[in-house]
Structure 1
Amino acid sequence: MELLVLRDGVHRLPTAEYADALRERLPEHTVVHARTPAEEREHVRTADVVTGPRIDASLLEDAEEIRLFACAYAGYGHLPVDELAEADIAVTSATGVHAPNAAEHAVGAILSFSRRFHEAARADRWQPVDPGELAGSTVTVVGLGAIGTAIAERLEPFDVTTLGVRRHPSEGGPTDEVFGPEEFHDALARTDFLVLCCPLTEDTRGLVGDREFGTLPPEAVLVNVARGAVVDTDALVRTLRRGRLGGAVLDVTDPEPLPDDHPIWGLDDVVVTPHTAGATPEYYERLADIVADNVRRLADDRPLRNLAVPAESD
């Protein structure tokens, strides 16, 4: 089976290293790394599997053997999904590669605010800061996919109560309790730390706004490692200015990046990180594990892992 690794002409991601990682895992298959547009067009004619951050729809015109496009990102909304489906090409995602590091980011944010590191960092030399204690707190995790599950698992040793919120609560989860969307406010009312790690959809856009901030206890802390638009930014600013929130850690914002004159920069109880929760030196190693597994599954005609868009013939 031939696997083609596309170049990334936008963000200059290390696709050569990614190709090497795939070769280590798939010695029985041919892995080709395209370094130029001409090489992409040449090798796409014979490739069974194509992988990379994105694929141009025009490239599919030369595709004859492709059965799978393995996207190097967890999200796939940027892909020409209709054209891929029309060409009978399945699409898989990189869901799960961010889980360990994004979970560490979220738990680190919770611990930082629990112990008030952000206040100590601003204090004048030996000025006392009274820290809190995480044990006994309630942490609500919105979204129980790979990242939400990893967060809940890492919180287990801290003697906290975990509440999970997901679209289909009957599916259960790793948290102490699981709530559906219609019970969201019941969970919010009990929350000390609200962690957002859900995908951005029409249902989750603006999920946390004035009403939700009104339900949260005034000392609760928001941690957003999802997407900026899951939170109503204006409502967040209003709530913080009124002293109705204990603080926020935002790895994502709306807009992103925030303009230099945005009011969030002037709020003491907000920590902003530049969309780095998903960054990890292990990204392409974990991605190669997923893609190599799917190449073997494809060869054996077994169900694919992280299937985002099935082939029409499936």
Structure 2
Amino acid sequence: MSADDTPDVVVLRQKIHGLSADEYAETLRERLPDKNVVLARTPAEERELLKQTPVATGFNIDADVLAEAENLDLFACVFAGTGHLPMEALNEHGVAVTNASGVHGPNIAEQVVGAILSFARRFHVAWRQKQRNEWRSYPTHELQGSTVTVIGLGAIGQAIVDRLDPFGVDTIGVRYTPEKGGPTDEVVGFDDEAGFHDALARSKYVVVACPLTDTTRGILDSDAFKTMHPDTVLVNIGRGPVVDTDALLDALRGNAIRGAALDVTDPEPLPDDHELWNFDNVLITPHNAGHTPKYWERMADIIAENVERLGKGKTELQNQV
């Protein structure tokens, strides 16, 4: 390979949300017309190209290829979460890591608002009656005046709060550093058990928008569901294990909550014989909230900015982990 053919950015052969890696590479070429963006189509091509490129992007990278990736300065992960990456190996080889924080904000926030409105206006009842050609009025709810707790105030949590604002709701945010405040009317900390349960007790909608950590794993347990009002709806677009599935099932069986909208579950994928499928008041989507036709556009913006920074010798990168 000649010097002119040396890749500036390598797109790994990995698809997400049904989106083609070819489309990702083409979007990057349009965004970086002066750079050589190459798509690795086979495992052998990946290994060879990673030896030469300063920037690689995909959802994962094998730790065993890093020893030969001597020129690699940046791995741009196309996921917001990076817990699946070999971070120790990347650090050891001096490879910076960025994530897709902010890419999902608009689409996931719209999914959350849609789920909340669906439960408020009880569209699921309308769909069932339509299937029976049944013209019969049914009671509904109003979102206005409700309290919504958003667990996690990262880019996605903030986008959710922004889109809820015009609906006239009161919002409570839960975050690690409540002293930072946030876009919500109130903020409590994960370690403030009394404040957290007070928020759950007052909320008609509880939205999970946090990553999975030792602190958040199972934070919505049987005690949390006992605290929630029977009219509360759970919306989870974060990670499945943040919610204790057995406790959620108990709450649903006992009418301890009004329902749930789950884009993520534990286990995942949800087995076809799992009890969660059987509840009329549970909306399940297959980890689909992250899908958007603008995914690659937003990823390309992040990478283009960081390629420019690297070219200027800057070490501080956008979305650096």
Structure 1-normalised TM-score?
A: 0.94
Structure 2 residue 138 is matched with structure 1 residue 132: no
Q: Measure the CA separation in 2 of the matches of 1:115 and 1:69.
A: 44
Structure 2 residue 234 is matched with structure 1 residue 222: yes
Give the number of the structure with larger relative contact order, counting CA–CA contacts within 8 Å between residues 6 or more apart.
1
Structure 2 residue 167 is matched with structure 1 residue 158: yes
Q: Indicate the residue corresponding to 2:187 in structure 1.
A: 178
* SS, match of residue 189 in structure 1: helix
Q: Indicate the residue corresponding to 1:285 in structure 2.
A: 297
Question: Residue 11 of structure 1: CA displacement?
Answer: 8.3
* SS, match of residue 30 in structure 2: helix
Q: Measure the CA separation in 2 of the matches of 1:9 and 1:242.
A: 40
Question: Residue 151 of structure 1: CA displacement?
Answer: 0.5
Identity between Structure 1 and Structure 2 (%): 57
Going from structure 1 to structure 2, the CA distance change for 1:12 and 1:237 (only over 3 Å counts) comes to: closer
Going from structure 1 to structure 2, the CA distance change for 1:186 and 1:9 (only over 3 Å counts) comes to: closer
Q: Measure the CA separation in 1 of the matches of 2:247 and 2:46.
A: 46
Q: Measure the CA separation in 2 of the matches of 1:44 and 1:267.
A: 48
Going from structure 1 to structure 2, the CA distance change for 1:231 and 1:12 (only over 3 Å counts) comes to: closer
Q: Indicate the residue corresponding to 2:3 in structure 1.
A: none
Gaps of 5+ in 1: 309-314
Alignment of 1:66-77 (within 5 A): 66-77=72-83
* SS, match of residue 62 in structure 1: coil
Asked if the contact 2:236/2:262 (under 8 Å) is kept, the reply is yes
Question: Residue 115 of structure 1: CA displacement?
Answer: 0.6
Question: Residue 188 of structure 1: CA displacement?
Answer: 0.8
Going from structure 1 to structure 2, the CA distance change for 1:147 and 1:61 (only over 3 Å counts) comes to: same
Matching residue's letter, 2:248 = L
Question: Residue 294 of structure 1: CA displacement?
Answer: 1.1
Question: Residue 221 of structure 1: CA displacement?
Answer: 0.6
Question: Residue 292 of structure 1: CA displacement?
Answer: 1.1
Q: Measure the CA separation in 2 of the matches of 1:247 and 1:12.
A: 29
Structure 2 residue 176 is matched with structure 1 residue 149: no
Matching residue's letter, 2:162 = E
Aligned pair count reads: 308
* SS, match of residue 307 in structure 1: coil
Q: Indicate the residue corresponding to 2:10 in structure 1.
A: 4
- Cα deviation per residue 1:265-313 (whole Å; 9 max; x = unaligned)? 22221111111111111111111111111111222233111111xxxxx
Matching residue's letter, 1:139 = V
Question: Residue 12 of structure 1: CA displacement?
Answer: 7.4
Q: Indicate the residue corresponding to 2:250 in structure 1.
A: 238
Q: Indicate the residue corresponding to 2:317 in structure 1.
A: 304
Gaps of 5+ in 2: 1-6
Alignment of 1:258-269 (within 5 A): 258-269=270-281
Structure 2-normalised TM-score?
A: 0.92
Matching residue's letter, 1:175 = T
Q: Measure the CA separation in 2 of the matches of 1:18 and 1:24.
A: 10
